[in-house]
Amino acid sequence: MSTLVTYFSAEGTTKKVAEEFAKEIGADVFEIIPEEIYTKADIRWTNPLSRCNKEKFGNKDVPVKGKVEDFEKYDTVYIGFPIWYGCAPNVVNTFCKGYDWTGKKVYAFATSGGSGIGKTAEKLKPYVTGAAEVDALLVKNAEDVKNWKA
């Protein structure tokens, strides 16, 4: 079995953490990319009409480009994302819905400009049904992730 580091990054912060962490532990990497890329205006959460707000409060799926090949070979999956509304962005939830998580260990690591981790693990569980373990941590860098579960 092997490890996958997958991530969604709106502004590059999470991407840097995820790619550095994956390199350090020798894991495969998959970037979660929405079919429609987010603009700066789309992620301006202070605007009630911004795309991120419409998606979150409308509980909308956000279509994702591509699929992880041979997902069944991974026993541990790290999922990185910026924390939005105390949980994963909808694009991450949509990504998760597309796979069988049975028996996998799922570790969500979130970057943040100021929010806490909240109930991220609890809110992610319905999207990773069957996972053996689901945990979440707020991180600043790849070392935080490595010191946590790697």
With contact defined as beta carbons under 8 Å apart, do 31 and 8 qualify? yes
Mean pLDDT of the chain: 90
pLDDT range class, residue 150, cuts 50, 70, 90: low
101-105, 115-119, 136-140, range with greatest mean pLDDT: 101-105
* 145's tokens: 């992730």
- End-to-end CA, the chain: 15
25-34, 49-58, 111-120, 124-133: lowest mean pLDDT where?
49-58
pLDDT digit string, tens, across residues 14-50? 999 999 999 999 999 999 999 888 888 778 777 777 7
More confident call, 115 vs 146: 146
> Cα 146 vs. chain centroid, distance in angstroms?
16
46-50, 97-101, 129-133: lowest mean pLDDT where?
46-50
Q: Is the pTM of this model over 0.85?
A: yes
pLDDT range class, residue 78, cuts 50, 70, 90: very high
Q: Which helix (H) or strand (E) holds 22?
A: helix 13-25
**Distance between CA 121 and CA 106 in Å, rounded?**
9
81 Cβ neighbours under 8 A, 6+ residues apart: 7, 8, 9, 14, 32, 88, 89, 92, 108, 110, 111
Nearest to 13 by CA among 150, 144, 139, 149: 139
Q: Is the pLDDT of residue 7 over 90?
A: yes
**Distance between CA 72 and CA 118 in Å, rounded?**
29
Give the residue-averaged pLDDT of 105-117: 89
For position 21, what pLDDT does the model report?
Answer: 95
State how far the alpha carbon of 19 is from the alpha carbons of 8, 35, 120, 122, in Å: 11, 21, 21, 25
Domains and CATH numbers, the chain: 2-149 (3.40.50.360)
